Amino acid sequence: MLRIDTKRFREIALISGSISIIIILYPYIAEYYGFPQLLSRDIYYILSFIIFIFPLGIAHLLNVMWRRAVDRNIPKLLRHLAEAGRIGVSIPKALKIASKYDLGPLTDELKKAVVKLSWGYPLKKVMEDIADDIGTPTARRAFKLIVEASESGGNIEETLLILQRHIMGMQLTLRERLAIMKPYISYGYIAFFVFLAIEVVLLKSFFIPMLEVKHSLESIGGGAMQLFKASISISQIKQYFYHASILEAIISGLVAGKLGEGTIFAGLKHVAVLLIATILTYYLFIF
C-alpha cells in the first residue's frame, strides 16, 4: 500500500501548485501573445483550483488508508509477540520473527526496526522511532507499552494480550463510528445536487423568461420600461447563480469530508468533484 509521507506530500503540493499557477496565467499570456483561448477565464481559475486541491485530497486519502492498515495489523503484532513470550523469546527476537509474517504495511516498518536493533540501537529508541514514523495514536500507545512491558518484566505475554484486546475494542468502536458517519458523505452530495437542480429550474423557468420579457418591453419602450428599470441583465443573474453554486460546492465538499471522514482536509477531493459537476451543469444547461 502506497504511503504519502511529508516529503512526498510537499512534492505533490509543489507540482500541483506550479501547474495551477501556469493555468491561471495562461489567459493573460494567451492575450499578450495572441494564442487561442478555448475557455473563459473563470473556467481557467476553477480548473487551476481543482488541479491544486484534487491531488492533495487523493494523497491525504492514501495516507489515511496506509495508517488505518497499519493500525489494523498492530493487534496481530501484539498476538505474535505474546505467543513468542510464552516460549521465552525476548522482545527483540520476537520482533524479528514477526517481521517475517504478512502484517501489511506494518511489515516494512518492523523490518526497519529489526535492522536498527541489529546495529545495536536500544529497544526503547527503536520503538519510539517506529511509533513516531507511523504517527498514529494506536501505534504510539502500543509500542510505548511494549517497551514498558519489556522493562518491567513479569507476565509480559498477558500484558500484551490485554493491550491487544483493548486496541481491538477501540478499532471496533472506530469502525462503527465511521460506518455511522459514512452516509453523511452521500447526504452532502444529495444536498448539493438538489441545490444545483433548484438553481437550474429557477433560472430556466423563472428568471431568464422574466428578463427576456423585460428586454422585449425595453424594445417597445414607453411607460412599461419603468416597471423593470431596476432589473439586472440575464448574464448577471447567471453569474450570480454560478458563483453561488461554486461556493456551495466548496462548502458541501468540505462538510462531507468532515462528517464522513473526520477531517476538513478529506473534503478536498469532494470539493473537486462537485466543482466539476457545477461547471458541466452550467455550461451544458445554462450558458
Q: What is the pLDDT of residue 12?
A: 93
Half-sphere exposure in the Cβ direction for 7 (13 Å, CA): 1
Helices (H) and strands (E) in the chain, counts: 12, 0
Q: What is the pLDDT of residue 227?
A: 47
**Quick one: average pLDDT of 168-186?**
85
pLDDT at 271 over 70: yes
In the chain, where the domains are located: 71-179, 182-287
Mean of per-residue pLDDT scores for the chain: 85
In whole angstroms, give the CA distance from residue 37 to residue 41: 9
- Residue 193: pLDDT band (50, 70, 90) is very high
> In a 3-state reduction of DSSP, which class is residue 262?
coil
Could you tell me the pTM of the whole model?
A: 0.80
Integer-rounded Cα radius of gyration of the chain: 29
> Residues 92-125: pLDDT tens digits?
888 888 888 888 999 999 999 999 988 988 888 8
